[in-house]
Amino acid sequence: MANSDEGKWLRKATLCEQIYELGHQNGVYLTHYTLDLESKMPITEDIMRQALVHLYRKVPVLRLCLRERDSELWIREMDDCVLDLEIIDEGDVEMERNKMTLHTYNAFDGPLWCVRLVSQTKGSTGLSQSRGEGKDFTFNYSVIFGIHHSVSDGSTNVKICNLLRFILDSIMIGDAIDDDVQLGEITDDKEMCALLDREMAKLKNDPDLCSKIKRELAEGSSVRPLIRHICRIPSDTVIMSRNVTLTVDSATTNMFLKKARSEGVTLHSAITGVINVSLLDLIKEAGIHHDEYVFRAGHDIDVRRYFVNDASHMLGIYGPVFGYRYSFVVPKDLLSTFWDNVRRFHQHFKIDVAEGAVLTTSAYRLMTEDFQASLKDLFRTAGEPNYYYTISNMGNLSGSLSEEAGRVVTIGKLTRFSSIRNGISFMCIYIHTFRDQLNISFSYSTKFLSHDFVQKLADLVKEHMDTVCTL
């Protein structure tokens, strides 16, 4: 018995896993995915439970829990399969999403994930992204999938969502499912540590680089985003996480992508420019006029890109220890010089990503800061953000999610959102394309921003996407 229990202890938690568990304890870094499905048959509670048991057996990170061992956090396998599933008939999806931002997990025993199956009135969703794949797909559902960020990142979560659709399709058609075939595997952080050690060695031999990073971090921490002057949140406001979504039609999406390519930039750089010019409109509308403006923002980077070995099988969380942030100075007439400024941002960001700047900065901070003190700062409840937003861009998901109609179940849309209510952050902006449509989700904290402000921002983003295509 003792040996069996010993085998369940997999390894010590990595630095990132520790950070995200602390975030979980403080009500931040809770990630959620809404998968809109269309089905030829009803997805009953029994079918969904069968599907989730298969999912548990096929996805190693869904079998994990987090426990203290000898005063250190460890990753451990759960003792048994436990499901956290609720069925909501003809429910309000937005209300269920809001509930999920308050959800906490039983880290000690697991599970570190949960599912809410929200059925919709027949034909009520009108999912434009399903391309009219057949009148037989008449049963509509929203599957809200929540997962602890310590065990999974966006790349892993999309794989899980796609596998869930495949399993549902197989169950409803009567196909056998091989639970021995795993989605991927849990690895350690040896490659990440090797990368950080390499960067530390570089820094020790390059005092000029150290000075540059020190200066950039100091300049970044001094940034005071101007939107803090716009939203006057009442002191008695209940601090929550909320979400505003924007789905851009296929024609506009394709026109915007074509224009970005013709200007020599990526979707990420182009949409960053659109967000900045939209924020600038709101700042000027509030009567704040400067000759130039500093937009400091975070940009999520998957560090698997830097691994020497193939990382496609690696499940878990593979973000940098400290996120990448960049301060970009723009002129007051940003719209009139839009593409020139986007190209300027694009070149800087492209170089930083290629050279692994996020790893270098993380290594510097680990060398020069008290780690435990830094963690406390991450989750302090006082203070204001020193950056406007973080963008998490997953690119085109049509290859990662099953774009074609399943035999019984097909994916209509994926929406990502998160809980940031107790963090010092204005908003996280989640971006991806699927079925030729751009999906943007603005997750924001009511501590700093109002719904009206974020909705106006979303409306301006759509408006400026049209505008910049004509420049």
Dump pLDDT digits (tens) for 337-367.
Answer: 999 999 999 999 999 999 999 999 999 999 9
pLDDT of the residue at 122: 57
Helices (H) and strands (E) in the chain, counts: 13, 16
Residue located via tokens 């909501």: 88
> Which stretches of the chain drop beneath a pLDDT of 50?
1-2, 124-126, 128-132
* pLDDT digit string, tens, across residues 135-166: 678 899 999 999 999 999 999 999 999 999 99
Strand 325-331 versus strand 241-248 pairing type? unpaired
CA–CA distances in Å: residue 17 to residues 67, 188, 307: 12, 11, 18
Question: What is the reported pLDDT for 245?
Answer: 96
Residue positions counted in the chain: 471
Our CA angle for 147, 151, 152, nearest 5°, is 65
State the DSSP string of 66-105: EEEETTEEEEEE-SS----EEEETT--HHHHHHHHTT---
Read off the pLDDT of residues 296-317 as tens digits, 9 standing for 90 and up. Answer: 999 999 999 999 989 999 999 9
User: What dihedral do alpha carbons 306, 307, 312, 317 form, nearest 10°?
Assistant: -80
Q: Which residues of 169-180 are buried (b: 16+ CB within 10 A; e: fewer)?
A: bbbbeeeebeee
Domains belonging to the chain, first-starting first, are 2-186 (3.30.559.10), 190-393+433-468 (3.30.559.30)
Decide: 107 and 24 in contact? Cβ < 8 Å: yes
Q: Helix 267-285 and helix 451-468: axis angle, to 10°?
A: 120
DSSP state of 243: E
